[in-house]
Amino acid sequence: MAAALWMLAAMLILGVIDNFIVVVAEVISVWQMYFIRLCIALPVIYLAARLLRQRFLPVNWGPVLLRSFLFASAMLFYFASLAFLPIAQSLAGLFTSPIIVVTITALFLREKIGAYRIGAVIAGFVGTLIVLQVSPGNFSPLVIVPVIGGVLYALNAVITRRMCGGESTCTLLAGTMGMQGILGILGLGAIALFGIEEVSGPLAFVTRGWGWPMEGVSLLLVGHVLGSIVGVFALTRAYQLGEASHVAVFEYSIMVFGPAFAFVWFGQSLSAVQMAGVGLIIAAGAVIALRSGRG
């Protein structure tokens, strides 16, 4: 019960704060946001590591750097998609990750998967297509953006499970925020060096350089960073308290919390068919989580 409550709290926080990306995207770029996250988060995480008596620097640098790059890149595609897609569609793309993890473990790691998980993969894939509204007559290449995030997030999950088990929570969190800052600096540098012109509309979130002053979004950005730290801490605490396969089921509550707040604040809504697709994704994720290690 405690693990479930920690996970529900984590998903509630993350589902709420990710909605603010839509507002932030109108003023600054994702690259500037990443750099600011670095400046705010690392001192907070360092202080948390000291208070919790956890390691701040990695035990094994290679796996942590690889994991951090994959996680930061996954969130880059996810955050970018929030500027031009409803949060439900962005989350649907990101939460293809359990499907991809099962596929990776079956095809490349040669782990046996049973009929239940094969069926869940198919159902989750169909649910994702429904939520993203993928059809021959109604297809936008932009819906692929959060799916790329889902692929990278899945690779991060595999690396974390197999190579980063001995690292502390603060180490992994610091690695993620640090890598986000590096990607932000590289993005800002590339835009300035190559003179990339800002594209009008939602894609400005990706093509915009450094913007100052950050009119009206400074407090939102600080709140988003601090909320991310608290949310990830709660998520980690949930996995520490409960069986991973059972706790993971509650992670899908973000598919309810995120779109619910998006509807209240921004009027984003889902059709009945898309809601059925969300249900398929949640059901598929629950089956995959509960059947992990059982085939």
Write out pLDDT tens, residues 250-276.
888 888 899 999 998 888 888 888 889
pLDDT band at residue 112, thresholds of 50, 70 and 90? confident
Model pLDDT, residue 212? 82
pLDDT band at residue 120, thresholds of 50, 70 and 90? confident
Q: Pick the residue with more confidence: 137 or 119?
A: 119
pLDDT band at residue 244, thresholds of 50, 70 and 90? low
Per-residue pLDDT for 295 more than 60? no
Per-residue pLDDT for 284 more than 80? yes
Q: Convert the chain into a string of H (helix), E (strand) and C (coil).
A: CHHHHHHHHHHHHHHHHHHHHHHHCCCCCHHHHHHHHHHHHHHHHHHHHHHHCCCCCCCCHHHHHHHHHHHHHHHHHHHHHHCCCCHHHHHHHHCCHHHHHHHHHHHCCCCCCCHHHHHHHHHHHHHHHHHCCCECCECCHHHHHHHHHHHHHHHHHHHHHHHCCCCCHHHHHHHHHHHHHHHHHHHHHHHHHHCCCCCCCCCHHHHCCCCCCCCCCHHHHHHHHHHHHHHHHHHHHHHHHCCHHHHHHHHHHHHHHHHHHHHHHHCCCCCHHHHHHHHHHHHHHHHHHHHCCCC
The lowest-confidence range among 34-38, 92-96, 177-181 is 92-96
Asked whether the beta carbons of 119 and 111 are under 8 A apart, the reply is no
pLDDT band at residue 119, thresholds of 50, 70 and 90? confident
Model pLDDT, residue 292? 64
Model pLDDT, residue 270? 83
Per-residue pLDDT for 193 more than 90? yes
The lowest-confidence range among 22-26, 79-83, 108-112 is 108-112
Per-residue pLDDT for 243 more than 60? yes
- Compute the mean pLDDT over every residue in the chain, rounded to the nearest whole number: 87
Model pLDDT, residue 293? 55
**Percentage of the residues of the chain whose pLDDT score is greater than 70:** 95
Write out pLDDT tens, residues 40-96.
999 999 999 999 899 999 999 999 999 999 999 999 999 999 998 999 899 988 888
Report the 10 Å Cβ neighbour count for 166. Answer: 11
From the list 148, 161, 152, 145, the residue with the least C-alpha distance to 69 is 152
Domain extent listing, the chain: 2-291
